[in-house]
A and B are shown apart, each in its own frame.
Chain A
């Protein structure tokens, strides 16, 4: 292998890819990135056996070939080089020579044949959405996924492809987030019209990092098979395994008829919750919400710390209600929503509350109340 390329392009690609490099591996080769020169492209691949990332960088290829080198070492060297042309050449099967201006490095790696091949998602079903829409889908749901690896299914995000578009769903069994992209924003690219998969939240976090909103940016191409799913944005691809099992029947959790509701300014609500939560830290962040005649009050109390009382102007409909929630389960969702006001609906103090952005029919959030 012998290629020359632009330092900053190489640096960006390495940064993208090497986040996936296994920090938790027992196989040394998995802390390496694969460099493979073919035609006018250098393929850079990282794979930790669960998630794989690949980036293609335009290069001038003098000699095709491949090898692997430690991602950290290569990444750090390239990051600190001046912006100039970088030449990389395999000196042996597993030694990379790198030169840039008057800097010269040799980096010891491992032969390419030892690197596990990134699984390809072939004959799968797929669709395309804009980067902005994919970002919305991920950001609106991912925080509700569980961090408890003992319940693997809940650590994933359910992706549903159907006639009505695309939906992402996440729940940790205390709360549920559902975000949809309507059919007109989704472009069919073949395969089945209806399917669902459970994607590890970690993979979606990485997908989210490679997205940027903007009209002129290329769309995200999603491709799923029985085994895995891939997200392709321009020259960047992320492949993830899928979680096996039955996702909980989430629709059952969404309250169908609510007789009480409150509409309140989102940013004011978020700020008040964050303040009151300071007092409630020792009490599992328990906040008590009272809705009555045009006001929403939030109170918190902790024997050792003290008391908090917040009042917000609100449009209240239906009977008065007093209900308690954990602040932790409200701050994420209010931070992710973008609307000016939110609509919060209830059936009673012991049943879950349904939270919606006032101007976004495609997002809903359900949260379980705490004991008063």
Chain B
């Protein structure tokens, strides 16, 4: 990955490229911005650009991606590039202070083994052991001339102000949906699928690329949309079953991401999938459910959009969306409100099963009101 290839991060990429071409590389950087937009990818790309043995002759900031240095950096075994992250995948685990002492404070004094620059990437920098800030500050104080320290965070507010004040700040933002669609198409995805994934990614490139690499993620999304498309045919009493089915899809999603974790080279592509930060200790399910609910919301939004002739989030489901009669705008809006409310209560640690079941009952109630006006339904009720 070259700096210039970062999706939707023109400003950040330009700042980093200029630092190299103008020989004004700083000793400390703070990469901040939303989760999953490519900060970690950018940190590695920057490390490659700083150490590439064969940069492009007309662009010294463009790493070749092929030389030994570039290859070792992308596989994580370059002796001069240290990625310092919390052990394990739990959201609650932190970078131990011993690791910071050894791999940053001590190691920074060892001269580069093969590269020109030693690059230390603390990712995420807001998840370090308590009391390690002084240790990090010590490293930021007087780094040797060859050292570059990159702090990566999506929650800069959690860092004490003394840290950002010693760093060159590089801000990352959510990427434009078009940029993501374009990128997914270059990865070989069909336009409608690329558009759907891009829309669901919410501007998080890492998530979109992760989903594109794992057909299972797409399968979960399809299963959820199929579920929505078939809701009208279900009995209003099937709430428990529907809740179970949604939960199963969320579990399948966790599974798919676990399997793919090793192959994903982008930032935390899957550990935090959607909008909500996972509740501490809530496990994978709690962090994957919100995304599943987003998919369901997208179904109802598309129905509203179809009614207004607006573009769809899931263009590949256009036919199913418009198959239903219009004129149920209020019901669709109520469904969206119910789903968002459920997402919200899950964030506040509501019981997953209860929250899902009450949502499922509401979703099934909506088509039921339609059915209640039909003769057959009335007849059965008697």
Map CB proximity to B onto A236-253 as digits: 1 under 8 Å, 0 otherwise. 000001111100000000
Known: A29-B77, A242-B110. 5 other contacts (CB 8 A): A49-B113, A152-B108, A152-B109, A244-B110, A244-B111
Task: Mark interface residues in B108-128 (1 if CB within 8 Å of A CB, else 0).
Answer: 111111100000000000000
A: contact size bracket = 20 to 34
A103 contacts the other chain (Cβ, under 8 Å)? no
List 5 A-B pairs, minimum CB-CB distance, nearest first.
A152-B109, A116-B77, A241-B110, A149-B106, A49-B79
User: Interface readout for A181-193 with B: 1 if CB under 8 Å, 0 if not?
Assistant: 0000000000000
Q: Are B113 and A228 in contact (CB under 8 A)?
A: yes
Instruction: Give every chain B residue within 8 A of A318 (Cβ-Cβ).
Output: none
- With an 8 Å Cβ cutoff, the count of chain B residues facing the other chain is 24
Pair A243/B109 contact, Cβ less than 8 Å? yes
Q: Is the CB of A245 within 8 A of B110?
A: no
The B-contacting residues of A in range 175-229, CB under 8 angstroms, are: 200, 226-228
User: Considering the chains assembled together, what is the distance between the CA atoms of A155 and B105 in angstroms?
Assistant: 13
Contact of A50 among B78, B108, B110, B138 (CB under 8 A): B110
Hey, which bits of chain A sit against chain B, CB under 8 A? 24, 26-27, 29-30, 47, 49-50, 114-117, 119, 149-150, 152-153, 155, 200, 226-228, 241-245
> How far is A117 from B114 in the complex, measured between Cα atoms in Å?
10
A200's nearest neighbour on chain B, judged by CB, is B110
In the complex, which of the residues A24, A27, A155, A227 contacts B77, with contact meaning CB atoms closer than 8 Å? A27
Give complex CA distance A153, B144 in Å.
12
- Residues of A near B238 (CB, < 8 A) are none
- What are 17 inter-chain pairs, A to B, with CB distance below 8 A? A27-B76, A29-B77, A50-B110, A116-B77, A116-B78, A117-B68, A149-B106, A150-B138, A152-B108, A153-B109, A155-B106, A200-B110, A227-B111, A228-B113, A242-B110, A244-B111, A245-B144
Report Cα–Cα, A153/B105, bound state, in Å.
12
B111 touches A149 (CB 8 A): no
A183 CB, nearest partner CB in chain B, Å = 28
* Contact B101 A149, beta carbon cutoff 8 Å: yes
> Which A residue sits closest to B82, measured CB to CB?
A49
B75, B111, B112: the one contacting A114 at CB < 8 Å is B75
- For residue B107, CB closer than 8 A to chain A, the reply is yes
Point out the residues of chain A lying under 8 angstroms from B75, CB to CB. Answer: 114
Which residues of chain A are within 8 angstroms of B109 by Cβ–Cβ distance?
152-153, 243-245
**Docked-complex contact B114 and A50, CB < 8 angstroms:** no
State in angstroms the CA–CA spacing of A27 and B105 once bound together.
19
Indicate if B160 sits at the interface (CB-CB under 8 A).
no
Q: A244 to B144, alpha carbons, bound, how many Å?
A: 8
Does A226 contact B78, Cβ atoms closer than 8 Å? no
Decide if A241 touches B111 in the complex (CB within 8 Å). Answer: yes
Asked if A150 contacts B105 (CB within 8 A), the reply is: yes
Contact of B79 among A26, A119, A149, A244 (CB under 8 A): A119
Which A residues are CB-close (under 8 A) to B105?
149-150, 152
- State the CA gap A150–B100 with chains docked (Å): 11
Which chain A positions have C-beta within 8 A of B87? Answer: 26
CA distance A242 to B108 in the complex (A): 11
Closest to A117 in B: B68
A50 / chain B contacts, CB cutoff of 8 Å: 107, 110
Give the shortest distance, in Å, between B304 (CB) and chain A (any CB). Answer: 48
A25 to chain B, nearest CB (A): 10
Q: Is B218 an interface residue (CB 8 A)?
A: no
A119 pairs with B113, CB closer than 8 A: yes
Interface residues of B in 310-344 (CB under 8 A from A): none
Compute how far the CA of A227 lies from the CA of B115 in the bound complex, rounded to whole angstroms: 9
Give chain A residues whose Cβ lies under 8 Å from the Cβ of B112. Answer: 227
Does A227 lie within 8 Å of B106, measured CB to CB? Answer: no
Do B114 and A119 have beta carbons less than 8 Å apart? yes
**A30, closest chain B residue (CB):** B77
Specify the chain B residue showing the minimal Cβ separation from A227: B111
In the complex, chain A residues whose CB is within 8 Å of the CB of B138: 150
User: Of A116, A149, A228, which is within 8 A of B72 by CB?
Assistant: A116
Interface flags, B53-82, vs A, CB<8A=1, else 0:
000000000000000100010011111000
Contacts of B108 in A (CB 8 A): 152
Chain A nearest CB, measured from B136 CB (Å): 13
| Chain B positions within 8 Å of A149 at CB level | 101-102, 105-106
Q: Mark B35-49, 1 if CB is under 8 A from A, else 0.
A: 000000000000000
Query: Complex: how many Å from CA A114 to CA B262?
Result: 14
Kindly supply a per-residue 1/0 record for chain B positions 1-37, scoring 1 wherever the CB is within 8 Å of any chain A CB and 0 otherwise. 0000000000000000000000000000000000000
Q: In the complex, which residues of chain B have a beta carbon less than 8 angstroms from the beta carbon of A245?
A: 109, 144
Contact present for B77 and A242 (CB under 8 Å): no
How many Å lie between the Cα of A26 and that of B99 in the bound state? 10
Query: Could you mark each residue 140-174 of chain B with 1 if its beta carbon is under 8 Å from any beta carbon of chain A, else 0?
Result: 00001010000000000000000000000000000
Complex CA distance for A27 and B107, rounded to whole angstroms: 16
Of chain A, the residue at the smallest CB distance from B72 is: A116
Partner of B113, one of A27, A155, A227: A227
Interface centre among B76, B79, B105 (most CB of A within 10 A): B79
Q: Which residues of A contact B76 (CB under 8 A)?
A: 27
Q: Is the CB of B77 within 8 A of A243?
A: no
Instruction: Considering the complex, give the chain A residue whose CB is closest to the CB of B103.
Output: A26
Q: Are B113 and A241 in contact (CB under 8 A)?
A: yes
Most buried by B among A26, A30, A245: A26
Measured between beta carbons, the chain B residues less than 8 angstroms from A226 are: 111
